[in-house]
Amino acid sequence: MREQLETIPEPTMEQPQEKEYRPSKSEMLTNYEIHIKFLNRGCVVQVGCKSIAFTDINEAMTEINAYVTGDTWEVQKKWVKLLDM
């Protein structure tokens, strides 16, 4: 008669992953002032110390709306990456 052997998983040496700190949406939105300067053609949007020129006001409003009402963290990371190149 054969006995069934229990398979024991091998221990792993993986370290627990640390979560990236993410401030709340309201905390992020209160950290940076948003200014919009309308020009003859387009506008300049300033968030904190960074300024972004848009030739199309609708495009600027779409980006501002995504920043304010969408995933503020991801939108901010996208623009920081573009502006810090």
Distance CA 79, CA 85 (A): 10
Pairwise CA distance, residues 74 & 80, whole Å: 10
CB atoms within 10 A of CB 24: 10
Q: pLDDT confidence of 5, banded at 50, 70, 90?
A: low
Tell me the per-residue pLDDT of 19-63, one tens digit each, with 9 for 90 and over: 778 888 888 888 889 999 999 999 999 988 889 999 999 999 999
What per-residue confidence (pLDDT) applies to 63? Answer: 92
Tokens 């939108």, located at residue: 75
- pLDDT at residue 77 is higher than 90: no
Please determine, for residue 13, whether its predicted confidence score (pLDDT) is greater than 70. no
* Ramachandran assignment for 42, one of left (phi > 0), alpha (psi -120 to 50 degrees), beta (any other): left
At residue 78, the pLDDT reads 87
